[in-house]
């Protein structure tokens, strides 16, 4: 029967509502709901350079694949940043604000620098003996003052080889991070040591898979002989390792082949490594981490 009167329409709608209400009232799953358990959420903030940042670093894979839904994971790393210019440009101010955001029971701040603190990078380089470790100490002090918990990471290795041996150009900066972690009793993820072991075991050719784009044929040929080279080695000249410490750009990494930044496979590989080391270094984070 067609309902022509507005009152008939209203009465029909009311009957439907009352019917659903009756169903809900008799549904034990609705009527006997237990009291909700308040969520106890935590936060993980990533701080660092392009080897942690989006499009080029391990951070996106870490947040997406290795952190449970009970932890917010925020990647505030940026390409081309050192312990100096990350603060000078105001990026650290954003970290300060995130550390003080209410509602989280615990907040951890993971800090990884070193690549852009090396010499020869105008506006970025820091003094290894004094400024670099002092900058790290200041970051740690401010994380603790904000009620958060610092974790220091040694810098991710580059994947450059000479005669089959991995070049360790970041060793002094990794050592400095280790000393500060020991001095201030800060948990340490020794990403440099773990990534060096892994890349050395891969060798120069297999390690090329970690990059954002495939290597050029001449680069593969050189790597087969044990030495990584730039994009256009001189024909007939002895192979010389590309110096990525000087060629890494300021700002967002562009998708290209190099021996520093990470593609999808590299990001996942090293994110897994970070999650594994983090579970060892900070046992209280284990329930929030996925292998």
Every domain of the chain and the residues it spans: 42-288
**Of 33-42, 104-113, 230-239, where does the model show the most confidence?**
104-113
Pairing type for strands 106-112 and 71-75 reads: unpaired
140: pLDDT strictly greater than 50: yes
State the average pLDDT over residues 36-58: 94
| % of the chain residues with pLDDT over 70 | 84
CA–CA gap between residue 273 and residue 154 (Å, rounded):
13
Decide: 12 and 2 in contact? Cβ < 8 Å. Answer: no
Minimal CA–CA distance to 251: which of 57, 80, 76? 80
pTM recorded for the entire structure = 0.85
Q: How many CB atoms within 10 Å of residue 209?
A: 15
* Residue 157 DSSP symbol: P
CA–CA gap between residue 277 and residue 13 (Å, rounded):
60
When pLDDT is cut at 50, 70 and 90, the band that residue 29 belongs to is confident
When pLDDT is cut at 50, 70 and 90, the band that residue 3 belongs to is very low
Decide: 213 and 263 in contact? Cβ < 8 Å. Answer: yes
The arrangement of secondary structure in 42-288, i.e. its CATH architecture, is: 3-Layer(aba) Sandwich (3.40)
1: pLDDT strictly greater than 50: no
76: pLDDT strictly greater than 70: yes
CA–CA gap between residue 27 and residue 225 (Å, rounded):
72
Decide: 100 and 47 in contact? Cβ < 8 Å. Answer: no
Decide: 271 and 61 in contact? Cβ < 8 Å. Answer: yes
Q: What is the CA radius of gyration of the chain?
A: 26
**Residue ranges with strand state E in the chain:** 42-48, 71-75, 106-112, 149-153, 161-162, 165-166, 188-189
């Amino acid at each position: 029967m067609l309902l022509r009167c507005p009152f008939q329409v209203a009465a029909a709608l009311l009957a439907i509502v009352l019917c659903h209400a009756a169903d809900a009232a008799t549904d034990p799953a609705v009527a006997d709901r237990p009291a909700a358990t308040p969520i106890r959420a935590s936060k993980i903030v990533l701080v660092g350079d392009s080897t942690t940042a989006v499009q080029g670093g391990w951070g996106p894979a870490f947040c997406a694949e290795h952190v449970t839904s009970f932890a917010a994971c925020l990647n505030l790393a940026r390409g081309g940043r050192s312990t100096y210019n990350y603060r000078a440009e105001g990026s650290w101010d954003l970290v300060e604000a995130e550390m003080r955001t209410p509602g989280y029971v615990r907040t951890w701040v993971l800090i990884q620098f070193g690549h852009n603190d090396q010499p020869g990078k105008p506006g970025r380089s820091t003094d290894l003996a004094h400024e670099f470790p002092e900058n790290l100490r200041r970051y740690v002090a401010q994380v603790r003052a904000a009620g958060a918990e610092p974790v220091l990471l040694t810098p991710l290795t580059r994947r450059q080889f000479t005669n089959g041996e991995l070049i360790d150009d970041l060793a002094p900066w990794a050592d400095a991070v280790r000393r500060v972690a020991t001095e201030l009793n800060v948990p340490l993820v020794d990403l440099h040591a773990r990534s060096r072991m892994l890349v050395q075991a891969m060798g120069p050719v297999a390690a090329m898979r970690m990059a954002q784009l495939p290597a050029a044929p001449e680069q593969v040929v050189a790597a087969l002989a044990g030495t990584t080279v730039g994009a256009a080695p001189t024909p007939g000249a002895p192979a010389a390792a590309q110096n990525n410490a000087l060629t890494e750009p300021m700002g967002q990494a562009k998708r290209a082949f190099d021996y520093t930044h990470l593609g999808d496979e590299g990001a996942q590989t090293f994110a897994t490594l970070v999650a594994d080391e983090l579970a060892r270094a900070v046992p209280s984070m284990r329930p929030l981490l996925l292998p």
